[in-house]
Structure 1
């Protein structure tokens, strides 16, 4: 059953020629305005438009890192939504702003970060519910989490029926790898990481060794690029991600 979306207001329904995105506002139960870009499926005929991908950015970027991927997914008749986490991009307020958090003394910074990020699971759930309404109860939803977004992807996938999941330069604690191994190993999984990206790469290897679905795949890069710069350096990566989700969500 879908959870109630307390308030959903469209900030703009003008789809630009460049991004194909409609900027939307998702209002949380505590009355916080989350900004997101929604890329509607280019195929309006059901059930052809019963697929969707939720895109979660890394914590040194914002939702715009998925502009091209969202547009390509829409062209493949897949709804897509890129969310600004609370405190990032345009999802900011006087209370939640990552730029302000990073200026705090170290002792205060950790507490402020924990307070801000504690809201993310419910915020991500709201974004998922929005997409689920678009595809219907029998629709399929995938999720991609870059860096810190990977933990949020695991949180959501443990609660909801996620048909495909991708970890993009996403370092995972042993606790999260164990959670994945307990409940998500049979979910098709796409893992992307650079070999010299420290814990990001070693945890990616651990996740991939745990994965059991035959469609699961790991893409590794030389060097230490993390997240978004990989999209800029390898122009084919965006298409690779889109093609993988399109194939998995069509099964």
Structure 2
């Protein structure tokens, strides 16, 4: 798509009553093995009888959190009138978990104002864990605002992590020009310059909060927040882990991931994501990192970014567990889940993305087509993305060569000529830019593969290109 278009946007209640004295009341569960308690072993010690009727001590085997079985002793003292019991739990083998579960709930979230470097007000919410611990910065997708993270942030705070969410400028309650009011000239500056500076400002706020362990920070992003999260980790070594939902990163971000084997990644994406090419992009990203704690979740349905939380209720809890494990001191690396390995497609994309690799990629593609004229080594959407990623920082010559791949592979698509026209114009090759813009309009007349809104966008882009070149479209 043309550059002028903006990219889219319990267990049992008794456990909660556990007190420092080790005393709590509960009813005997119908299925005691379903009682969920942490890994550590707890022992029942003293009991004050409720009546003279007693049931002898009994050992129960209980399923704990992700660990081996836990045994507790139980004496049920039953009254003649009812079956209530008094369970007294006194000692846990790990004092760290005792402190976590016995303490009061974290303090309520606090809405704060953060001032950006240029004076714009950034509205944020700080979710304190109420005790020292790691920090997590969550960056929203560009069709939402910070409040989409509230449930996950509250869960993270309850688990001992201090969390900050904030509205990007132009979104939610933050200041700045609303994102949909930016001109095509303003948008790249905001996304490439203002957003990173704002993320750094939010990061500094997070690590300055009392009790936040500066050396153990995680970042999570959805959609446009993915690239911002990766770039934050690239700028700040304190960021030790990343959670990335439904988007890719730019060439500098990809190179950083290649060079950061110690950085664990949690990625999730759905096949029905409306953002074209995002599944292939994320498969490519996970293939760049060899970290054994990496986790890749690919769903058949779920939508884009945080929309997956509604379709997959287990996902937020899995993210909480993963953040807790990888940010622990020392880290407890969970078993990785890499359902996406390096493939012929990811290897070809690596060749395209490598400095000086495009000529070899073109040759490899030509040879593959000779062997099999129907071979497909890449999707139109992904090559289009990669081409524009090289075009934006001013690398127009490489962008031209990359986008030529799409013309070779998808010669009937109007969009590939519109995109190549952009690259030629940026490289100063006006005649070729004009030729490709006209080709896009010519193909649109008989195009039935693209939906109406896409055809409309291509038409407007190509006509704008010709107008810029001093030509009136036919």
- TM-score band by shorter chain is 0.7 to 0.9
CA 1:23–1:67 in 2, change beyond 3 Å: closer, same or farther? same
Q: Is the CA contact (8 Å cut-off) linking 2:234 and 2:253 kept in structure 1?
A: no
How many residues matched? Answer: 219
C-alpha distance in structure 2 between counterparts of 1:228 and 1:138, whole Å: 27
Deviation at 1:174, TM superposition (A): 4.8
C-alpha distance in structure 2 between counterparts of 1:174 and 1:126, whole Å: 24
What's the secondary structure of 2:184's corresponding residue?
helix
Q: Is the CA contact (8 Å cut-off) linking 2:126 and 2:164 kept in structure 1?
A: yes
C-alpha distance in structure 2 between counterparts of 1:195 and 1:186, whole Å: 28
C-alpha distance in structure 2 between counterparts of 1:62 and 1:69, whole Å: 14
Q: What's the TM-score once normalised by structure 1's chain length?
A: 0.81
Q: Is the CA contact (8 Å cut-off) linking 1:50 and 1:139 kept in structure 2?
A: no
What's the secondary structure of 1:164's corresponding residue?
strand
C-alpha distance in structure 1 between counterparts of 2:206 and 2:321, whole Å: 19
The alignment status of 1:200 with 2:278, answered yes or no, reads: yes
What's the secondary structure of 2:172's corresponding residue?
coil
What's the secondary structure of 1:51's corresponding residue?
strand
Which of 90, 94, 97 aligns to 2:178? It is 97
Which residue is 2:110 aligned to?
A: 22
What's the secondary structure of 1:61's corresponding residue?
coil
Task: Decide which moves more: 54-63 or 122-131.
Answer: 122-131
C-alpha distance in structure 2 between counterparts of 1:61 and 1:137, whole Å: 29
The alignment status of 1:59 with 2:142, answered yes or no, reads: yes
User: Which runs of 5 or more structure 2 residues have no equivalent in the other structure?
Assistant: 1-104, 332-474
Which residue is 1:111 aligned to?
A: 185
C-alpha distance in structure 2 between counterparts of 1:194 and 1:149, whole Å: 17
Which residue is 2:244 aligned to?
A: 167
- Structure with more contact order per residue of length (Cα contacts < 8 Å, sep ≥ 6): 1
What's the secondary structure of 1:220's corresponding residue?
strand
Q: Is the CA contact (8 Å cut-off) linking 1:87 and 1:116 kept in structure 2?
A: no
Which residue is 2:165 aligned to?
A: 82
Deviation by residue 1:24-70 (Cα, 9 ceiling, x = unmatched)? 1111232111011110013x2xxxx2201100000111101100011
Which residue is 2:315 aligned to?
A: 237
The alignment status of 1:133 with 2:208, answered yes or no, reads: yes
CA 1:147–1:75 in 2, change beyond 3 Å: closer, same or farther? same
C-alpha distance in structure 2 between counterparts of 1:137 and 1:73, whole Å: 15
C-alpha distance in structure 2 between counterparts of 1:20 and 1:92, whole Å: 24
Which residue is 2:125 aligned to?
A: 37
Deviation at 1:99, TM superposition (A): 3.5
Which residue is 2:288 aligned to?
A: 210
Deviation at 1:100, TM superposition (A): 2.2
What's the secondary structure of 1:110's corresponding residue?
coil
Q: Is the CA contact (8 Å cut-off) linking 1:165 and 1:188 kept in structure 2?
A: yes
Larger radius of gyration: 2
The alignment status of 1:144 with 2:220, answered yes or no, reads: yes
